[in-house]
Each structure stands twice: as C-alpha cells, then as structure tokens.
Amino acid sequence: MTDTPPPTTPAAIISLHLDEGLRVVDIAARTALSEDRIRTLMRNRGITLRRRKRSCVPPEDRVRAEDLAQAYTQGASIRMLAQQTGRSYGYIRRTLERAGVQLRARGSRRLGR
C-alpha cells in the first residue's frame, strides 16, 4: 500500500476549505504548506477569509470592563485605573466607553478628594 501525497494543488486546497470545512491551520498541517501560503492562494482565487483575532494579553491578565465600570462609577479616575491595572489611559477610556459608562467631565470629583 502506497501513501498518497497530501493535496497541494490550488483546487485541492480550496476544496479542503470549502467542501470539508477545514481551517487554514488544519490545511497547513495536512499539506505541509505554510498558513501564509494557503491564505495567499485562497485570496488570489477570490475566497474571503475571516480576520484572525489574536490578543497579546493572556486571559488571566485581561481587565474586565465590568470591574473597571464599577470602580469608575464609585469614584476612581481613569488615570487611577490605568495605574492600578498597568494599562494605558486610552485603553481604560475606550473600555469604559464601550461598556456604556457615562464619563465624568475632566477635573470632576474623584475618590480621596
């Protein structure tokens, strides 16, 4: 019995994605082609791929929007939250805005004043 070589023709690779529902990473493992090569091949043939979502922050280090919102509504400033969490002022502000928190005017009363 002879081992069949993995499919490496563009048609075979596209079939793995469209017909068998394999992800790019799975096709790469099966064909020994790089993920970038497979993505390029698919894009060149008009196949739209979902954007990769990667977070450089491990789950245990992520700041929960609910926790930030609660601390902010209890009087903590954005700058104070940024210092406590090690995140930037802009990150805290955007997270609060996305959570639907009504931001205070600059210089408003805060904790400890």
The per-residue pLDDT string of the chain (113 residues; one tens digit each, 9 = 90 and over) reads: 556 666 778 888 888 888 888 888 888 888 888 889 999 999 999 988 877 666 555 566 567 888 999 999 999 999 999 999 888 999 899 889 888 899 998 776 655 55
Q: Does residue 49 belong to any structural domain of this protein?
A: no
Same domain? For 67 and 92 the reply is yes
- 50 lies in a domain? no
The answer to whether residues 24 and 49 touch, using CB atoms and an 8 Å cutoff, is yes
Q: In one letter, which amino acid is 51?
A: R
Give this prediction's pTM: 0.46
Q: Which two tokens stand for residue 94?
A: 């955007």
65 and 36 in a common domain: no
Alpha-carbon gap, residue 44 to 30, rounded angstroms? 21
Q: Which residue has the tokens 């990150």?
A: 91
Q: Which domain holds residue 83?
A: 59-98
